[in-house]
Structure 1
Amino acid sequence: MVRLALCQISATADPAANLDLIRAGVAAADGASVVLFPEATMCRFGVPLGPVAEPLDGPWAAAVREIADAAGVVIVAGMFTPAEDGRVRNTLLVTGRGHHFGYDKIHLFDAFGFKESKTVAPGDKPMVFEVDGVTLGVATCYDVRFPELFRRLADDGAKAILVGASWGAGEGKREQWELLVRARALDSTSWVVACGQADPGPTTETAPLGIGHSLVADPRGRVAGTLDGEPGTLVVDIDPDLADTTRHVIPVLANRKL
């Protein structure tokens, strides 16, 4: 078993204040080995991201690593790092227990009238890492609409895939979020652990700020835990053997032809 905590927060535009949210989330993690925060934990969307972006060896990521090391956990949290072309990268920081690296979001949110690629450069490398002998994959928000990424992570050994999101609100978006998380679990016969930004309430902001409703789906697509729209913490125990038994019974990864 691997215990994971999903910390559903409403990030502010102040990276220092958001470090306090990380500290509080880790304190509420109830013995979890991995503490997952949403996309854009460093700074919410809807403000210029260039001025807040820092490299992985910069002060913000270093502070998160210190929090992780002090608690003996792995923290996974969304931040922004500089890109070579003047844009930023939407990076999921993985730090603690000897890890310190970033996954750069591959699929950028150029949809529903929003164009993330104007200010964000895409990544191109799927990433997995190991905690307590279990391989975990990572993905970010719009990535959840692309089953090939989740199958690739499963091919790379992932038994669970951690998703950080700042899901945009709108008609049918909550239903799409829940459906997509469960579908990706079925596609990859993996646990999918999806943590989003909390619902900020009524706003005139057009940027995706979050809807809450973080959830965990098991390798057979069943919901193993959920949150509502408010900030909160969900702690779940992931059984990696369920991925193995599911892949034996429903061998979609082995049976695919394309």
Structure 2
Amino acid sequence: MTQNGSFKRRVRARAAKTGESYTAALRHIRQTSPDRADARSVRLAVAQTSLFNDPRDISGFRSSGSEMRRLMREAHTAGARLIHFPEGATCSPNKRIMSEAGPKEIGPSDWTRFEWAVLRAELDATVKLARELRLWTVFGSVHQLAEPHRPHNSLYVVSDRGDLVTRYDERMLSNTKISFMYAPGKNPVMFEIDGVRFGCTLGMETHYPEIFAEYEKLDVDCVLFSTTGETPPAAPAFAAEVLGHAASNTYWVSYSAHAPQSVVIPSGIAAPDGQWAAQCPASGAPAIAVVDIRTDPEHQARPWRRRARSELYMAHQVNSDPRSDDPTYSENT
């Protein structure tokens, strides 16, 4: 059934339940959820980029920024409204390079080694291009805080007007990150483009289903997951989890990692049925893949699952029959 047909079915169901006319039921649904009643679409480009992990290397910063902007132009040519980049797209600092104890021992990071001024120049150039192309741009970057605070590992969300509209800071940090590198974030982050609602995740957070379930409760249509992919052996698990989160929450998930990982699992966009809608080439090279993210507000899986979770909880709370909690009880014993 088409999305429009599904919406009409919802109107007819309300009319049958309440005795209202079709017109009255239609008016009620549009008044109560005008921004969610109709199907919406956004063309999304997911990117895989070269891995740059030495924040002392000025030429590397500039090459990374130039590559990002080239892919932004490709996405614009493909008609994308949004491009999604990996964690640390500008620079993903290597823990051994950053360790003040030296590369042989992982310890607290020395952030004076980071070329912050060069990073800001590249970010400014990227934001300027986003404004010129009228392209929403989401990319990973280190977010500097005042001393003595550690920086955040972040996703910047830049609008098609070139405004930094929000920032997501990784919350569920790895042991190394929390011990030696970053300060954790606190909150989920959402933003909206043309009526389509996006959520942000980062790093290793695909390992935590509660983060993805939280975004389902917040009624997002697509979750953007950015990671480094610095260790290709971890890629199959991340990819499997991405597909699982998409299917179990009935929303889109965009998976953006660095290009070296693509020979194992390329960056891609998972559809709500838990299948890849598109993937970048498995070539080890920078690239994009483009998909139209389409919402279906009348898809029954999400409301049914919400109801099942709610009813399961309520049943557990109100069931007063002691036999319910006795797994050995039987009418035949």
Mark yes or no: TM-score above 0.5. Answer: yes
* 1:237 pairs with 2:292: yes
Which amino acid in the other structure matches residue 269 of structure 2? V
* 1:147 pairs with 2:201: no
* 1:8 pairs with 2:71: no
1:165 aligns with 227
Q: Could you tell me how far apart the structure 2 residues matched to 1:140 and 1:44 are? A: 12
Change (3 A) 1:144 1:229: farther
The 5-angstrom pairing of residues 36-185 of structure 1 reads 36-46=84-94, 47-48=97-98, 50=111, 51-52=113-114, 58-83=120-145, 85-98=148-161, 99-100=163-164, 101-110=166-175, 115-117=176-178, 118-169=180-231, 171=233, 173-185=234-246
Change (3 A) 1:72 1:86: same
Q: Could you tell me how far apart the structure 2 residues matched to 1:200 and 1:189 are? A: 26
Change (3 A) 1:251 1:119: same
TM-score, scaled to structure 2: 0.66
**Equivalent residues of 1:80, 1:89 under 8 A apart:** yes
Deviation at 1:239, TM superposition (A): 0.8
| Structure 1, unaligned runs of 5 or more | 202-209
* 1:251 pairs with 2:304: yes
Q: Could you tell me how far apart the structure 2 residues matched to 1:19 and 1:170 are? A: 23
Range that drifts further, 11-20 or 176-185: 11-20
Change (3 A) 1:190 1:102: same
Range that drifts further, 24-33 or 159-168: 159-168
Change (3 A) 1:244 1:218: farther
Deviation at 1:143, TM superposition (A): 0.9
Give the structure with the higher percent helix: 2
* 1:223 pairs with 2:276: yes
Deviation at 1:79, TM superposition (A): 0.2
1:33 aligns with 81
**Equivalent residues of 1:211, 1:229 under 8 A apart:** no
Which amino acid in the other structure matches residue 220 of structure 1? D
Q: Could you tell me how far apart the structure 1 residues matched to 2:298 and 2:155 are? A: 26
Which amino acid in the other structure matches residue 247 of structure 1? A
**Equivalent residues of 2:92, 2:141 under 8 A apart:** no
* 1:21 pairs with 2:67: yes
Q: Could you tell me how far apart the structure 2 residues matched to 1:107 and 1:213 are? A: 23
Q: Could you tell me how far apart the structure 1 residues matched to 2:308 and 2:283 are? A: 38
Q: Could you tell me how far apart the structure 2 residues matched to 1:90 and 1:11 are? A: 16
Deviation at 1:26, TM superposition (A): 0.7
Change (3 A) 1:254 1:124: farther
Deviation at 1:168, TM superposition (A): 3.8
Q: Could you tell me how far apart the structure 2 residues matched to 1:70 and 1:93 are? A: 18
Change (3 A) 1:137 1:23: same
Name the SS of the counterpart of 2:198 in structure 1.
strand
Change (3 A) 1:120 1:19: same
What's the CA shift string for 1:134-159, capped at 9, x where partnerless? 11111113111111111211222210
TM-score, scaled to structure 1: 0.84
Deviation at 1:123, TM superposition (A): 0.4
Give the structure with the higher percent strand: 1
Deviation at 1:129, TM superposition (A): 0.2
Change (3 A) 1:244 1:124: farther
**Equivalent residues of 1:53, 1:80 under 8 A apart:** no
Q: Could you tell me how far apart the structure 2 residues matched to 1:38 and 1:107 are? A: 17
| Structure 2, unaligned runs of 5 or more | 1-40, 55-59, 99-108, 314-333
Change (3 A) 1:244 1:178: farther
For the pair shown, which has the larger CA radius of gyration, 1 or 2?
2
Q: Could you tell me how far apart the structure 1 residues matched to 2:184 and 2:236 are? A: 26
Change (3 A) 1:66 1:40: same
> What is the RMSD of the two structures over their aligned residues, measured on CA atoms?
2.6
